[in-house]
Structure 1
């Protein structure tokens, strides 16, 4: 008997007992769907975490690490501005550096008419907007003229608009921050993603921020390298230059987001593997269900097996017939499980706001594993059928 005929007989047997077949496949369906869902969500979550930490650009953060002596004399040394305008200009001269993102920030009280709120005020340079992709929902963004001229203008977050302006259109209105007036020219798009908390923020040109609040330096600096290969060299040159310039012993250091990203990736991959393994237990349970039903099928078809063997069917042919039937059951269950898992992952990603990464390796692995389950758990029933004595089988009722 050919493989095609065996497959036809397997489908005939499945269709002849529809409810039993569905219940048998249920364990395989749940197991495969769970593994596909867990892996897809895990990979999507990993990508979201990485994007939240590293963004889409090649960046490294430069920070100042006060010495023990400095911390003893000034416990707030961490909070002080440690980068001068001269530092920003010198960092921009490094060959491997594409842009220097500089900013200062502080919590201040903002007021519009009778409403007040504590808001994070950021003084930023033009590179900050480009690298961090501050997108405008209404109005306009800060432009070169605003930075050069130190204009008293600012852009606000959606949360600031909702808290301070209520139903009023903020564009063209004046908000007072620590007694200083600023015209609102734009409202940022509402942030999305895992770490989007809807913070209340106002962004001002760096020259405006420094002149209005008496600030002279920056407290946050991020370098964008020309390429990923230039990250390490750019960071090395930047810290060497700053330490020499300020006569510090390795006080200026770099915080490579790529390293943090890789660490996050390792944690999420381990968690995905652990949870996926737990979900895979249901595949084992489903395999036991397949074996149980196949043993029942062998018992029910004892007489049929006896007739086939009396007509010349070999042990190998009987073994192959029942193995293919077992594989067919698990394979159909695996395909349905993959479709359900992919659909479930898409729904989760839609509501969670992160990408659903369904890799072909996982899909093919699910199919292959389903077939392996069919072979392993179908071997005992198939072997039992192949070893039945034809005379005893014909007498079976």
Structure 2
């Protein structure tokens, strides 16, 4: 008997017991679907976390950690901005550095008409916009002219628009920040994603920041390497240059965002593996269900098996027939589980605000694994069927 004939017999047998076949496949559908959901959400969450922490490519965060000797000589050193304009100009001269992103952030108060709110104010240089995309919902973004002229213009967050302006469009309005009049030229889009929190903040050109707060120093600094290959060299040279300019040994250091990204990837992969293993238990239970139903099927079809063997069917042919029937059952469940897992992962990612990454390796693995389940858990029933005595089988009622 050919493979196609065995396959058709298997499909006919499943059609004769539709409800039983559907309930049996349900365990495989849930098992395969659960694994695909976990892996897709895990990979999507990993991609989202990496983008949240690392931002654009080839970036290195520079930070200042004063030594104990520096703190003893100046107890207020941690309250002072660690980066000066001269530092920025010096770093821009390094051949490995593409951009130097500098900003200063402080807490302040903003007033519009009679309402006052505590807000976060960030002064940024032009390179900040090139590395950090600020999506505008209303109005426009800051331009090169705004940075050069030091225009008293600001972009505000959506949360500040809701709290201070009661949801009205504030573009063109004048608000007071640290007792200085500032024109609102744009409103940021609402943040999305599971790690996005609405904060009341505004962004000013750094020239404007200097006028408002009387300070020309920066509190945060990030450098972008010219290429991925120059990332480590750029970070090392930047730290050495800053330590030399400030006459310190190792106070200025860098954080390689690529290393953080790899660390995040390792953590999420371990968590995905653990949760995926738990989801795999349901697939194992589904396999036991298949074996149970196939054992019932062998018992029900004892007389049929006896007739086939009396007509010349070999033990191997009977074994093959029931194995193919078991594989067909699990393969159909696996395919349905793939669609179920893919659809559910898309829905979850839609609400969570991160990408759902269903790779072809996972899909192929789901199909192959479901077929293996069919073979492993179908061997016992198929072996039992092949060992039936033809004479005793024909007597079975």
TM-score bucket (shorter structure):
over 0.9
Distance across 1 between alignment mates of 2:163 and 2:231: 40
Per-residue Cα deviation, 1:74-107 (whole angstroms, up to 9, x for no partner):
5553342011101001111111111110000100
Matches within 5 A, 1:152-167: 152-167=152-167
Moved more, 194-203 or 84-93: 194-203
Distance across 2 between alignment mates of 1:79 and 1:377: 67
Matches within 5 A, 1:3-18: 3-18=3-18
Moved more, 324-333 or 226-235: 226-235
Distance across 2 between alignment mates of 1:120 and 1:144: 23
TM-score, normalising length from structure 2?
Answer: 0.98
Q: State the partner residue of 2:384.
A: 384
Per-residue Cα deviation, 1:39-66 (whole angstroms, up to 9, x for no partner):
1111111100001111233211111111
Structure 1 stretches of 5 or more lacking a match?
none
User: Does structure 1 retain, via aligned residues, the 8 Å contact 2:178–2:212?
Assistant: no
Q: State the partner residue of 1:282.
A: 282
Matches within 5 A, 1:351-366: 351-366=351-366
Moved more, 224-233 or 270-279: 224-233
Matches within 5 A, 1:276-355: 276-355=276-355
Q: State the partner residue of 1:374.
A: 374
Report how many aligned residue pairs link the two structures: 397
Moved more, 168-177 or 79-88: 168-177
Matches within 5 A, 1:17-96: 17-72=17-72, 77-96=77-96
Distance across 2 between alignment mates of 1:271 and 1:361: 19
Per-residue Cα deviation, 1:235-256 (whole angstroms, up to 9, x for no partner):
0110111111111111110011
The DSSP-based 3-state class of the residue aligned with 2:155 is: strand
Distance across 1 between alignment mates of 2:14 and 2:168: 66
Moved more, 34-43 or 72-81: 72-81
Deviation at 1:137, TM superposition (A): 1.5
Deviation at 1:16, TM superposition (A): 0.4
Q: State the partner residue of 1:253.
A: 253
Distance across 2 between alignment mates of 1:76 and 1:313: 92
Deviation at 1:172, TM superposition (A): 1.6
The DSSP-based 3-state class of the residue aligned with 1:358 is: coil
Deviation at 1:147, TM superposition (A): 1.3
User: Does structure 2 retain, via aligned residues, the 8 Å contact 1:49–1:194?
Assistant: no
Q: State the partner residue of 1:101.
A: 101
Per-residue Cα deviation, 1:313-363 (whole angstroms, up to 9, x for no partner):
111001000000000111111111111000100101111111000011111
Matches within 5 A, 1:67-216: 67-72=67-72, 77-216=77-216
Structure 2 stretches of 5 or more lacking a match?
none
Distance across 2 between alignment mates of 1:281 and 1:339: 20
RMSD: 1.2
User: Does structure 1 retain, via aligned residues, the 8 Å contact 2:239–2:253?
Assistant: yes
Moved more, 107-116 or 161-170: 161-170
CA 1:301–1:221: 2 relative to 1, 3 Å = same
User: Does structure 1 retain, via aligned residues, the 8 Å contact 2:99–2:127?
Assistant: yes
Moved more, 161-170 or 265-274: 161-170
CA 1:220–1:31: 2 relative to 1, 3 Å = same
The DSSP-based 3-state class of the residue aligned with 2:267 is: helix
The DSSP-based 3-state class of the residue aligned with 1:247 is: coil
